[in-house]
Structure 1
Amino acid sequence: MKVVQVLPDLNGGGVERGTLEVAEALIKAGHESVVISAGGKMVAELEAAGSRHVQWDLGKKSLLTFRYIWAVRKWLADEQPDILHLRSRMPAWVMWFAWRGLPKKQRPHLVTTVHGLYSVSRYSAIMCKGEKVIAVSDTVRQYIVDNYPQTAKAKIVRIFRGVDAKDFVYQYQPSTDWKKAWYAQFPQSQHKIVLTLPGRLTRLKGHNDFISLIERLVRAGLNVCGLIVGGEDPKRQAYAQSLHQSVIEKGLSDRIIFTGARSDIRDIYGISQLVFSLSTKPESFGRTVLEALRMGVPTVGYDHGGVGEILTAMFAQGKVELGNADELDAVVKSLIESGQKPAESSCFTKQDMLENTLAVYNSFVCLPDNKEK
């Protein structure tokens, strides 16, 4: 079986990581894996695991991007893949037009994954055109049903994202050397109750709610330190600056740390008493919540979207009504006082995600005539 996955680039992120994981699983199962993207820092890892990378920049939202349609169509005709798996809207449009131009019996089977709660539009509707449409959570499945009723329910397959237990070990603790280097860089976090909000500095991630929470906890006499872990979005520098200014104005410069982008998030979870997800817009899944809970770190989040689903399954004590500051305070204080931690869990595993994804691919290949539409 030859499977081609398509996405904008391979520069890091949840979609990109999932693409590499599926690619590796395909190779291990004896199949052929090809990924089309504009390239990026993860290409070397992809190729080292046995996949082939084809470099096409199909992610730019420009009419000029459609010039690739004819080259892509010829490539598909030459390569004759069994499965074409589309993971992002703009590349999906290019690939779909190329795919539609092939004779029916030459077309690979088409799979799409709805990774996000996209704006509802004709542009986003492309992600529901697969013969199978993978939804990454029940929230996403319902989003498809509600907003794209022309999508047959029978072709929607809910496959939760997952993390590897070997990457996020229950009760993991960072090394002494890591702690020494961390506290040398951020001494104000030592001997404090560390509360962590992971996520890039974008407006929907709830940073202002987190800053206000830290302010209230400090006023209540708790010895807390808040970590905001994530890089600044170059397009939203004014927002990032407003967050820094808010921290200064509230007198919290010694209580809130902006760490920037970090590659050691597992170690940061390990020194955290609580981890947060305070996105004001529902998340399609909520990988950071899952990562922290799998390590046994109590996690608090607004009870909506994929985050609500994960908390319901793994740590219902951490659920808070969206925007309810009083309930947020109460839940945080209760968890700090009780020291209650999530139990070890086998929910939302990477292995389940991979097995279920390959089962979707195999469902086509096992048809009597696997090219017939």
Structure 2
Amino acid sequence: MKIMQLLPELNSGGVERGTLEIARALIAAGHESIVVSNGGRLVAQLEAEGSQHLSLAIHKKSLSSLWQIRPLRKLIQQHQPDIVHVRSRVPAWLTHFALKGIPAQQRPHLISTVHGFYSTNRYSAIMTQAEKVIAVSDSVVKYITEHYQNCPPENIVRIYRGISPQEFPHGYQPSALWINQTFKDFPQLENKFLVCLPGRITRLKGHETLIELLQQLQNQYPNLHAVVVGGADAKKQAYLEELENNIQAKGLRDQITFVGHRSDIREWLAFSDVVLSLSNQAETFGRTALEALSVGTPVIGWNRGGVAEILSHLYPQGLIDVGDQAALLHAVQQHINEPQGVEPVTMFSLKEMCDRTIDLYKHVLNLD
């Protein structure tokens, strides 16, 4: 099979990671993999792993992107993929128009993946207009069926995102070298009960809830310390300052550490005693929660979206009613007083995600 995946850019994020994982699995199974995007820092890795990358400016949410319809049509006609797999709204619209100009019998099959709870409108509806629509969780299936009745339920295929148990093995511990370096960089973390909030610095990730939680617990547990793992991009610097001022005003300067953007997320998840998932909006999947549970770190999170699906299967005692601060407080207290174990994770594997996606491609092409 020859598969062409389309996404805006190849820098970082769940959509990008999923694209690379499927590309790698296609090559490993002897198929051809092409990725079309505006480029980015993951292109080198993609090409090193055997895929072909084609650069096209399909990333801008603006009318100027319509100039890319003809170049995209040309690429599709030139490379003749069996399937075009769109993973984002702008590329999906451009593909929609590009395919219209190709005779029906020469058009590739079209598959989309709904990665997000997009705003419900005509612009987002394009993601549900493909032969098969992959939803990354049951929450996303529900979102599509509720908001886009024109998408036949039999066209929706739930394929959970997955992680590699080899990359996040149960009981994983960071090296002594990593721990020593971390204590050197952040001496305030030594001999502390560490609560970790992973995710970039945005209003959506629940930092205010974390600050409130620390305020309630600081007198009772002086050795409790929070670590925020995630950076703030240029547009979010003002929000980071707002958080810092809030922390200062509440006298929590010594109880919370921002470690910025990190590439060693596995180490931080394993090093922490508890990981929190407190997003103000439902997550479509919740990969970080899964990674934490995979290495054996308990996760406490709001009972909604993909995180709730992961927790209900793997660590139901970590589920908290959305916004119930008292229940959150109680759950954290319980974990401090009595450390909890996490069973080895046997679901949500990367291999299963890749196998099921490739099986879907074959099914669409009547090869199964």
Q: Deviations over 1:283-310 (max 9, x none)?
A: 0000000000011100000000001000
**2:106 paired residue number:** 106
1:73 aligns with 2:68: no
Structure 1 contact 285–305 (Cα < 8 Å) conserved: yes
**1:371 paired residue number:** none
Which has the larger displacement, 186-195 or 72-81?
Answer: 72-81
**2:169 paired residue number:** 169
1:219 aligns with 2:215: no
Instruction: Please show how residues 1-373 of structure 1 align to structure 2 within 5 Å.
Output: 1-366=1-366
- Mapped partners of 2:72, 2:5: distance in 1: 13
Look up the SS of the partner of 2:227 in the other structure: strand
Q: Which amino acid aligns with 1:211?
A: I
- Mapped partners of 1:30, 1:355: distance in 2: 13
Q: Which amino acid aligns with 2:98?
A: A
- Mapped partners of 1:248, 1:30: distance in 2: 56
- Mapped partners of 2:317, 2:100: distance in 1: 49
Structure 1 contact 135–157 (Cα < 8 Å) conserved: yes
**CA offset at residue 367 of structure 1?**
5.9
Look up the SS of the partner of 2:33 in the other structure: strand
Q: Deviations over 1:203-225 (max 9, x none)?
A: 11111001111121112234111
TM-score (norm 2): 0.98
**CA offset at residue 94 of structure 1?**
0.9
Q: Which amino acid aligns with 1:326?
A: A
- Mapped partners of 1:336, 1:280: distance in 2: 24
**CA offset at residue 344 of structure 1?**
0.5
Look up the SS of the partner of 1:130 in the other structure: coil
- Mapped partners of 2:341, 2:241: distance in 1: 34
Q: Which amino acid aligns with 1:16?
A: E
Q: Which amino acid aligns with 1:355?
A: D
Q: Deviations over 1:202-254 (max 9, x none)?
A: 11111100111112111223411101111103223222211111111111111
Look up the SS of the partner of 1:219 in the other structure: coil
Structure 1 contact 11–41 (Cα < 8 Å) conserved: yes
- Mapped partners of 2:39, 2:71: distance in 1: 18
Q: Deviations over 1:31-86 (max 9, x none)?
A: 00000111111111100110000011201111001101011112211211001000
- Mapped partners of 1:7, 1:341: distance in 2: 39
Structure 2 contact 270–296 (Cα < 8 Å) conserved: no
- Mapped partners of 1:139, 1:270: distance in 2: 27
**CA offset at residue 335 of structure 1?**
1.7
Structure 1 contact 160–353 (Cα < 8 Å) conserved: yes
Look up the SS of the partner of 1:3 in the other structure: strand
Moved over 3 A (4+): none
Identity of aligned residues (%): 47
- Mapped partners of 1:367, 1:46: distance in 2: 26
**CA offset at residue 100 of structure 1?**
2.0
Look up the SS of the partner of 2:134 in the other structure: strand
Which has the larger displacement, 271-280 or 229-238?
Answer: 229-238
Look up the SS of the partner of 2:218 in the other structure: helix
- Mapped partners of 2:71, 2:18: distance in 1: 27
Which has the larger displacement, 237-246 or 319-328?
Answer: 237-246
Which has the larger displacement, 303-312 or 207-216?
Answer: 207-216
Task: Give RMSD over aligned pairs.
Answer: 1.1
Structure 1: gaps (5+ residues): 369-373
TM-score (norm 1): 0.97
- Mapped partners of 1:306, 1:222: distance in 2: 33
Structure 2: gaps (5+ residues): none
